Amino acid sequence: MNAVIHPLAEISQRARHVLIQELGVTDAMRFLNQFQVGSGDYTVEREPLFKGETVKSIVAAIKAQRPDPA
């Protein structure tokens, strides 16, 4: 089986066309804007952010912020 490798620019163009065709221009652009490259270095930033935390303590903090199930 030989897979044809298309140029990334072509794939991106085809994908945008399909999204616009299916979602319309506005919703397609809203969808694509979710994937813009951000800034910063999470590998460096997470060290001070989670210093002294464990997975267990992070999970407990998340659960504490959730509304009580009714």
| Containing structural domain, residue 48 | 8-65
Instruction: Show the tokens assigned to 23.
Output: 């979602």
Number of domains in the chain: 1
Tens digits of residue pLDDT in 13-61: 999 999 999 999 999 999 999 988 888 888 899 999 999 999 999 999 9
pLDDT at 69 over 70: no
28 touches 19 (CB < 8 A)? yes
Is it the case that residue 8 has pLDDT exceeding 70?
yes
- DSSP 8-class letter at 68: P
The pLDDT of residue 6 is 94
How far is residue 38 from each of residues 7, 35, 41, 66, measured CA to CA in Å? Answer: 24, 9, 9, 27
Single-letter amino acid code for the residue at 5 = I
Residue 2: pLDDT over 90: no
Using a cut of 0.75, tell me whether the model's pTM lies above it: no
Taking the mean position of all CA atoms in its chain, how far away is CA 65? 22
